[in-house]
Amino acid sequence: MQEKLLGRGPEALADDEVLEILLFSVFRDVDAKPVAQALINRFGSFTRVLAAPPEALLAAPDIGLHAAAAVKIVQVAALRMMQADLLEQPLLNNWERLLGYLTAALSREKIEQFRVLFLDSKNCLIADETQARGTVNHTPVYPREVVKRALELHATALILVHNHPSGDPTPSLADIEMTAAVRRAAAVLEIVVHDHLILGRGKWTSFRREGLL
């Protein structure tokens, strides 16, 4: 499979073969094929294996700390590559790529996660940071902390992002009220909130496009 990868390219490998090569680098003296197939069967797909929480991976048979870490570092590397592409130009001119990155980062999360994209005066990305993690349907957000962090990074604009693990990206009343509170706090210091994006399962909602911002 390694010869196939290097000689014919990554498209020549099936998903379970990619995972098998990854696990082989950890196990060495253990047949990684049945472990790779069992992981894909357990989580549903190769991408869902990569996105699985560490505790879920560790709970799988035959997966120890080293194998779980190897799986998660591939996800980290993929997201870092996508993030690097976003750094090259203003985010507002690169909407499709931004949504692709956010979908990869959040759409399979099992709990709500609130993130903030901090932008400079040219709307280029300074930082993408997770501000809070919550439960399956709620994440506490503190506008003062969001604005404080923006000041620390010298950001002049923000894009708010969070996921709905239910898969439905429809904003709740709490989402709308929280967005308004962050916008008011940011406006005092002339920091612009460009949008609030909610990611669902294959769907997304933009507060700006829905007239909520």
Q: Classify residue 211: in a domain, yes or no.
A: no
The tens digit of pLDDT for each residue in 160-173 reads 999 998 888 999 99
Model's pTM, two decimal places? 0.70
The rounded mean pLDDT for the chain is: 86
Whether residues 106 and 62 fall in one domain: no
* pLDDT tops 80 at residue 90: no
The tens digit of pLDDT for each residue in 28-76 reads 777 888 888 999 999 988 888 888 888 889 999 888 898 899 888 988 8
* 164 three-class SS: coil
Q: What CA–CA distance (Å, rounded) separates 65 from 104? A: 23
Whether residues 197 and 96 fall in one domain: yes
- Residue 178 sits in a domain whose CATH number is 3.40.140.10
**C-alpha closest to that of 109 among 63, 173, 48:** 48
- Reported as a pLDDT band with limits 50, 70 and 90, residue 134 is low
